[in-house]
Chains A and B, each alone.
Chain A
């Protein structure tokens, strides 16, 4: 009788990744970094508002013609949108499932309470919920215009000014941007550890990069509502 030579049949790659706490964290890290890359580009694009309506609206129009004639009108934009939706959903589902697991693993608290550094973990979770709600509002406000009174398709400059002329528009946006800053500050460094890219010699550089990214994103995004509020952009 011949012996079976393959004794270690393992589940598929996708199964292994999604079923493991380490693998699911990898999904969070990769989707998080995709969103982070998008946010940097998005922030830089937003700064065009400082060069006037024609340039800003022209940039928005160019985004729709990007990749033509190889790609059909708006296809490049749709590809980005699909990638982002997949990233947001994967990130949020993994965050929810991992958080549930973490809370279940620690059912009873210590009687003697300490000011614990679960600070970062808690701000990541609350910050994530704020970001999820913000993303929905932001799309309905400035992409589809569903919750935007007098929305004008093709005139993003005017729409942005409208949003930042209301107190609630400013409050929602600025809170979300601060949440992004905090999230990126811990998230970028975390992702490096999750992907096994951190090391003792690289730690300082990673932390500095995380702080710099968080700061540049926060200042860049916040500059737009501040400029509208102060009348620099009108």
Chain B
């Protein structure tokens, strides 16, 4: 395959960026999108040019590091991560636009790499449980009803990639935050922090400069892990419950 790439190039956080055009040839339809970018970078390095910076780690769809907006879609045209997107989803001769996540809370570090530490701070605010360390506890000591376990697992699938923020017209982190809140709040292990978790995580989310939810639904469409839009409804419910309870103390 022969492709024309238009890639966002930006030297550093303070520099102005712009789209640069590159031609790549000899791309196999079985390559992943990141392998295609590796091919481009090898050519750039041989020519003595600066390779395109992009985030990646596991390359198997589980770590959440990869992050590209491809032809206007976060993670590209298929419902998966960029590392699991294959070139067979494109046609020979296509022109492909590649841009970084765009949100005030995700500043560009270089080229296609953005700083997602705002997500880490949201997790630090309440995305944990209090548990004694040491030997693993007896697994049957805390029974979890099957529907609750399924619900928790569905939300635990979030890999923190930030595609939801990138796709949202308001740069909102509601889907990410709600997946973490729902995951832990439904489980007995998460019960002691049930109220403080949702209050603190939502407060941190606001503090980081993410937008609010207008229920446009773009986040759930972009999410490679299929976190449902209803997850946000669930977090709203938890937040209102916690606010009512906190008001009584």
Contact = CB atoms under 8 A, between A and B. Distances in A.
Interface of A: 8, 10, 12-13, 16-17, 19-26, 98, 101-114, 116-118, 120-121, 124, 186, 189-190, 192-200, 203
Given A8-B196, A112-B69, 16 more contacts: A13-B247, A17-B243, A22-B235, A102-B170, A102-B211, A105-B104, A110-B99, A110-B102, A112-B71, A114-B73, A117-B217, A117-B218, A193-B230, A196-B237, A196-B241, A198-B233
B93 interface: no
Contacts of B205: 21
A22 B169 contact: no
B192 interface: no
Contacts of A103: 170, 211
Contact of A121 (B73, B170, B238): B170
Interface residues of B, number: 51
A10 B246 contact: yes
Nearest to A29: B236
B203 A20 contact: yes
B72 A110 contact: yes
Interface in B147-173: 168-172
B3 to A, nearest CB: 15
Contact of A105 (B73, B105, B244, B247): B105
Interface in B80-132: 97, 99, 102-105
Interface of B: 6, 8, 19, 69, 71-73, 97, 99, 102-105, 168-172, 196, 199, 202-203, 205-206, 209-218, 228, 230, 232-241, 243-244, 246-247, 249
Given A110-B102, A112-B97, A98 B230 contact: no
Contacts of A22: 202, 212-213, 235-236, 239
A19 B214 CA distance: 17
Contacts of A198: 230, 233
Contact of B240 (A26, A108, A113, A120): A26
B209 A104 contact: yes
Given A104-B209, A107-B104, A196-B240, A120 B73 contact: no
Which of B6, B105, B171, B214 has the largest count of A CB atoms less than 10 A from its CB? B214
A195 B217 contact: no
- Give the 8 A-B CB pairs with smallest separation, nearest first: A196-B237, A105-B211, A102-B170, A118-B169, A105-B171, A13-B247, A114-B72, A21-B212
